[in-house]
Amino acid sequence: MARVAISVAAFVLTLPSAHALDAVHMPALPHVGFFATPASQLYLGMPEEGASRVLGEPAKETEIVTGGIDTRKLELSGHLPGQVVLSGGKVLRVTLDPFGMEKDALPFSLRRARPGLAENAVRRALGEPTYMLHHTFFGINVDQWVFARAGDADFSVFLRDGRVVARAVGRDVPESLFRIDLPLPPEPESDSQLPSPRVGMMASDITRFCGSVKFRIDYVINGQSASRVVFEPRGKGTFVDVTFVDGIATGLEDLGRLPDDPIFQGR
């Protein structure tokens, strides 16, 4: 099977229209880094004024008014890009991007190949790739799907174990293909413990705050264990969705009250 894969890749490289598929640039060694981020000082329900003071000037801001409720989306840049959503004057969601999937300006069509998306779903979203290349870096097998469309810049989707792990404009392999950046734990504002869950906290600390687990989904992305866990803090009938990567919280969202349906209630 490996011999077949190699021969297919070699055939693709000989196609006249594949002139830009030159020697492959090696990505950096797999690495997990930890960085401080102002987003770790945010908490769900935090007043907008306090959140704006902590974050400073966002890289981008989008404002939407629906049903009389003002919702603002703040894009964060830096080592740990992400997004903060404020609704009704309070923090509704904090999402960091540890895999660097959103840090570059990407065309809308490429954004449809979301992190973790299965290869069949990528085909439904983007169609068949123009070229399919197979790489092995540091013993890790990676598929590169190159999409070349008339009038548009070429772009690539990278898959590991059949799931999207990176996207890039052009045909080069990103240097940061195997890099993962996680948030450092939040700094306490005083000698007392932080009063609410924050990104950067370990799963054990989040559980202590949020209590009962309604349901969870465990998965692996780019070789790292990850999970999405829905909690019902203090049994009040409102729910919080937390995303963990390698046991560190990278996303928080206030779900409010879930629809009265067993599938949403974890039953």
- How much is the pLDDT for 2? 37
Stretches where the chain sits below pLDDT 70 are 1-23, 102-107, 189-195, 235-236, 258-267
- Residue-range domain boundaries for the chain: 2-31+101-175, 36-100+181-256
Give the pLDDT confidence score for residue 5 in this predicted structure. 38
Q: If we measure between CA atoms, which residue out of 105, 102, 59 comes closest to residue 250?
A: 102
State the number of CA atoms in the 13 A half-sphere of 21 facing the CB: 23
pTM across the whole model: 0.78
Q: What is the pLDDT of residue 157?
A: 93
Q: What pLDDT, in 10s, does the model give residues 112-157?
A: 888 888 999 999 989 999 999 999 999 999 999 999 988 788 889 9
- Name the CATH architecture for the domain at 2-31+101-175: 2-Layer Sandwich (3.30)
The mean of the pLDDT values for the chain is 82
pLDDT in tens, 119-131: 999 999 899 999 9
pLDDT tens, position by position, 49-64: 999 999 988 888 888 8
